[in-house]
Structure 1
Amino acid sequence: MKTIKKIGKWMGYALVSILLICLALYGYIYWNIEQRLNKVYPTATPAITIPSDSASIARGEHLFVVHGCKDCHGTDLKGRYITDETLIGKVAAQNITKGKGGLPVDYTDQDWLRVLKHGVNREGKTLIIMPANETTKLADNDLADIIAYCKSRPPKDNELDKNPELGPVLKALIAFDKLELLPAEHIDHQLNPIAEKKAEVSVEYGAYLTTNCAACHRTNFQGGPPLAPGAPEVPNITSSGRVGKWSETEFMQTLRTGTTPDGHKIDSTQMPWPRTREFSDVELKAVREFLLSLPKAETLVAK
């Protein structure tokens, strides 16, 4: 009987200890998130001229697609919920038209630049999920055309929650730096702007175009382990991988059809080939030139 009481007593101690650890962990996560979400970043950005001619707007639409803006904000720019699940949270890609629920009437070109170059809102606080750590590296002429296109779109009504609701999973991922969900933290806010990038078949332009590819394929483009549980390994896309075995025609056909030369169908949820199919011939050739210029790996990280 005494033994049972002792076991019960120690189990009680264990449960209390676990509860205290959980409370301490929650307290740390809450404090960590609040500190980071409320940090104010510098947003002094030189003004750029936003064009209004049809050619610039058309090019802006092209860039809006190939840089993945359409994937979140939609073809009509009225936005959508990126996630709306209890454990993960409720986060929206906002309506960026002037319709109901969209941008305020006094939204300026400087506000656009604040988002695209610094990843922050008007208060200078970081946005969530918005990949500004990629758009900050775009040349001013490209940013100007993207903004011109967005401003030219007709108003669309779509009221979404403007304040993200973070679930426990997102909070933990942010607190322990498992995903780069707060873009302002990963931006050099003093970065000298690139005035212009000319579209040409060159290694330099290919490197410029593949900025957002590094998020999955790693900075050396040699791929690696899955990015999430249950996802496939990320392939090596340098000359050491399959890309090195493909001809220019095969490379371009793969990125436009989602089918590799050996007949493999690429899952568009893992590799966004519906986006890369919109690349021009010059852009695809430049990307290939860059990938083939990278150092070969001694062993393949992923096949």
Structure 2
Amino acid sequence: MNKWIKRALLGAIGLGVLGTAGLAGGAWLGDRKAARQVTVTVAPVAIPTDASSLQRGRYLFATRGCTDCHGANGGGKAFIDDGGGMFVKAPNISPGPGNVVAAYRPEDWVRIIRHGIKPSGQPAFVMPSEDYSRLSDADLGALVAYVKQLPPVGGEGLVMRLPALVKTLYAAGVIQDAAEKIDHALPPAAPVVEDGSARHGAYVANMCIGCHGARLSGGKIPGGPPDWPAASNLTPGEGSAMAHYADAQQFVAMLRTGKRPDGSAVSRVMPFESLREMNDGDALALYTHLKALAPVPVGQR
């Protein structure tokens, strides 16, 4: 064998071994990071029992993305399975056998939903709590009340298999868990008047942060499977998705059908199981808010 070819092959093998070792080390660091303790002092919210609050909780559960991961019955379902080693199935949060919430105290619900921290003090890696951190106390209490009275179904805890590369990127801070993204010092959000205003829409738009970023300018979703498309820019900036919608009615129709006015399908990653359940008041307010945003270049999350 030509000595230069031999040297090149040996070099490639050496780099492969180093790369494998590096990923193994990165995965170990990622596991360590996921096991860290995050201390946040929280106050419990009142968990109501009246019919009006339970109805509000049902609406929030159906429209804010909960069903897309936990299922309509709360039993948990697989929402990532890329066939390449990345698999995530949400835990059972119904009162049924195998659920993970049976021992939750009122403050534990606040900590996991608003701060992305488990009762154990460890971060909830895949829980998009940044979408829920600004829920008002009343809405948070109503949501918990609804979940607690779901009919019991059997299930299990979180099932998560992540490739070494994802864990390495997590260890390096390229991918962050919600506990890293959230400003835990912010006081609870004040109640929002549901009047169709941009302020009302901003409250609804919190559910978009996990994929579109805090500035709603989209870009590649950190930690998402490789085949997931980049999230769209929801601001009026470069590459804005809002250019597809001439008016609020076209935008609301997209939320209901998953299709743009020209008939083309919007990304399958969008949580249309939840979005189609959104009432007209929230949907129109969301449109008003997005149209009023300052332009942000695509990808500047």
Provide TM-score, normalisation by structure 2: 0.83
Residues 224, 234 of structure 1: 8 Å contact kept: yes
Runs of 5+ consecutive residues of structure 1 not aligned to the other structure: none
Number of aligned pairs? 294
SS in structure 2 opposite 1:75? coil
1:194 alignment partner, one of 176, 180, 189 = 189
Aligned partner of 2:120 in structure 1 is: 123
Aligned equivalent of 2:146: 149
Identity %: 29
Match of 2:199 among 196, 204, 225: 204
Relative to structure 1, the CA distance from residue 198 to residue 217 in structure 2 (aligned partners, 3 Å threshold; closer, same or farther) is same
For 1:155-174, what aligned pairs fall within 5 Å after superposition? 155-160=152-157, 162=158, 164-174=160-170
After superposition, the Cα gap between the structure-2 partners of 1:137 and 1:253, relative to the gap in structure 1 and judged at 3 Å, is same
In 1, Cα distance between the equivalents of 2:231 and 2:118? 33
Equivalent-residue separation in structure 2 for 1:175 and 1:11 (angstroms): 31
For residue 74 of structure 1, the aligned residue among 63, 71, 90 is 71
Tell me by how many angstroms 1:135 deviates. 1.2
Deviations 1:183-217 (A, max 9, x none): 22222222211242332211112112112324444
Counterpart position of 1:248: 248
Deviation track 1:22-74 (CA, whole Å, cap 9, x = no partner) reads 25413430342133112111131111101011111111111112110000100
Letter in 1 for 2:186: L
| Worse overlay, 59-68 or 272-281 | 272-281
Say which of 42, 48, 51 aligns to 2:48: 51
Give 2:22's match in structure 1, choosing from 16, 25, 47. Answer: 25
Question: 1:12 and 1:67, CA in 2 relative to 1: closer, same or farther beyond 3 A?
Answer: same
Matches within 5 A, 1:1-303: 4=1, 6-7=3-4, 10=7, 13-14=10-11, 17-83=14-80, 87-103=84-100, 105-160=102-157, 162=158, 164-180=160-176, 182-224=177-219, 234-239=231-236, 241=240, 243=242, 246-261=246-261, 263-267=262-266, 269-296=268-295
CA distance in 2, matches of 1:32, 1:18: 21
The normalised TM-score by structure 1 is 0.82
User: How much is the aligned-residue C-alpha RMSD, in angstroms?
Assistant: 3.1
Q: Which one-letter code corresponds to 1:120 in the other structure?
A: I
Which amino acid counterpart does residue 21 of structure 1 have in structure 2?
Answer: L
